Amino acid sequence: MNPRLNQLQPYPFQKLRELFAGITPNAACSAINLSIGEPKHATPQFIKDALTENLRGLSNYPVTQGSELLRGAIADWCLMRYDVDLDPATQILPVNGSREALFSFAQAIVDPSKHVKRVLSPNPFYQIYEGAALLAGAKPYFLNTVPETGFHMDLGAIPDDLWQTVQLFYVCSPGNPTGKVLGLDDWREIFAYADRHDFIVAADECYSEIYFHEGQPPLGALTAAKQLGRGQERLVIFNSLSKRSNVPGMRSGFVAGDAEAIKQFLLYRTYHGSAMNPAVQAASAAAWQDEGHVHENRRMYREKFAAVVPMLREVLEFDSPDAAFYLWARVPGGDDMVFARDLYRDKHVTVLPGSFLARDAKGVNPGQGFIRIALVDGLDQCVEAARRIVEFVKQ
C-alpha cells in the first residue's frame, strides 16, 4: 500500500461518529443535522428534466475535456459573474465536483523531483487540501486565521526560504468554515508572492454564489486579477453547482484560469479517467445558463440567517459571515467537542467541533473552542435547532 495513506487523519465526520459513539440522543427531540455543508433545498425541476432528457448520452464514452456546450455555458457564466472572457477550449475544464478536482489538481501540479515540497492552506480549512498535499508527496503548511485578525492570513510571517519550497497555495473565498471573503488587497498580496516564488494559486470558490446582498457578489479571484491588471497566470479557480444549484449528488463543477495549468491538468485527467457523465454535462449546462433559481436559493438562505442569527447571539459569540452558509461560533466553556457531544445527547442537534477542521500550528489549534453550524436545512428546522441551542446553553 502507498505509505502516504498512513499520514491521513480521520475525516471530520468520522471523528464526529467516534465522538458520538455510545451516546443515545434525547428521544423527545427529532434529529436536526447542521454539521455537514450539504444543501437541503430542492433541486430545480428544469435541471432534473435536462438530466433525464439526455440519458441517451449514456451510450457514448464522454470526452474528458467536456462538451463544447458545457464549456461554452461555463465561459458565458464566467464572463457574466467575473467580467473575464475565458477561452472555453483552453481555459475551462469541467470536473466531477470541486472536491474531486481540488484533490487531483495537487497530484498533477506538485513536482516530485523537488526535495522539499510545500502546499499552503488556511487553518481551519477544508480537509481535502491536506490530503491532496500529503498524497502528492508534499508537506502541508497551515496559516492560522482567527476572528481577532478578521481571519487574515499573515503571509509576511512566512520566512523567505520556506516560500521558495511552495508549489501550491489553496485559498478558499468565501471561506469554509469562517465565511471570510478576501478583498482586493488580499489578492494583491497573494499574487505578488505567487509571481515572486512561481507557485500556483488554487482558488476554491464553491460558496461564491451564497451571499446576502443581491448585486453585491463576493470578489472572485479572476475578477481580482483583472482589476489588478494581470491575466490568469498562476491562477486556477474551482467552482461547483452543488451549493449554487442544490445538486450535490450530480457532482458537477469546473476549473478555469491559467491555460498551461489547465492543459497539464487535462493530460492528467485523460489518464485518470474522470470524464463527466454526458447526461450530467447537459444538465450542468442548463444550470449554468440560469440565474433565477440561484436568486431564489440566496433568498432562502437570507431568510434563515435573519431568523437564526438574533436567536443564537443570545448565547454564542460569532462574527456574521461575509458569505456562504456557515456560522463559526465560539462556545461557552471553550471545549468544542464537549459542547457538540452534549448538545447531540440533550437536544439531538448535530454541529461540527471546530477543532476537527483545523490542525495544530505554531502551538495552537485555531478551531479549538468553536463549532461550525451549517444552515442548510429548511427554515423551520434551522429555527428549531437555534431554539434548542439557546435552551441548551441557558440550562
- pLDDT (0 to 100) of residue 366: 97
Written as one letter, the residue type at 156 is: G
- pLDDT (0 to 100) of residue 122: 97
- pLDDT (0 to 100) of residue 219: 98
CB–CB of 155/189 below 8 Å? Answer: yes
Rounded CA-CA distance 241/251 in Å is: 8
Q: Which of 106, 118, 122, 198 is nearest to 155 (CA)?
A: 122
In the numeric block, the cell 471573503 is attached to: 181
Averaged pLDDT for residues 158-167: 96
Written as one letter, the residue type at 147 is: P
φ, ψ for residue 347, nearest 5 deg? -125, 0
Looking at residue 163, the DSSP 8-state letter turns out to be: H
How does residue 136 score in pLDDT terms, banded at 50, 70 and 90? very high
Query: Mean pLDDT score of the chain, rounded to an integer?
Result: 97
Q: What is the pLDDT of residues 288-298, one digit of tens each?
A: 999 999 999 99
CB–CB of 357/125 below 8 Å? Answer: yes
CB–CB of 219/180 below 8 Å? Answer: no
- pLDDT (0 to 100) of residue 207: 98
- pLDDT (0 to 100) of residue 62: 95
- pLDDT (0 to 100) of residue 98: 96
The three-state secondary structure class of 144 is: strand
Q: What is the pLDDT of residues 52-101, one digit of tens each?
A: 999 999 999 999 999 999 999 999 999 999 999 999 999 999 999 999 99
For the beta carbon of residue 349, count every other beta carbon within 10 angstroms.
Answer: 26
pTM: 0.96
Adjacent-strand bridge partners of 329? 318, 371
- pLDDT (0 to 100) of residue 181: 98
User: In terms of DSSP bridges, do strands 92-95 and 118-123 run parallel, antiparallel, or are they unpaired?
Assistant: unpaired
Domains along the sequence of the chain with CATH: 3-42+293-394 (3.90.1150.10), 56-290 (3.40.640.10)
How does residue 186 score in pLDDT terms, banded at 50, 70 and 90? very high
Q: Quote the percentage of the chain above a pLDDT of 70.
A: 100
Averaged pLDDT for residues 157-165: 95
CB–CB of 356/370 below 8 Å? Answer: no
CB–CB of 256/223 below 8 Å? Answer: no
Q: What is the pLDDT of residues 40-56, one digit of tens each?
A: 999 999 999 999 999 99
C-alpha cell at 89: 477550449
User: In terms of DSSP bridges, do strands 253-257 and 92-95 run parallel, antiparallel, or are they unpaired?
Assistant: antiparallel
Q: What is the pLDDT of residues 339-377, one digit of tens each?
A: 999 999 999 999 999 999 999 998 999 999 999 999 999
- pLDDT (0 to 100) of residue 200: 98
Q: Quote the percentage of the chain above a pLDDT of 90.
A: 100
How does residue 182 score in pLDDT terms, banded at 50, 70 and 90? very high
Averaged pLDDT for residues 229-246: 98
Rounded CA-CA distance 43/135 in Å is: 34
φ, ψ for residue 176, nearest 5 deg? -110, 115
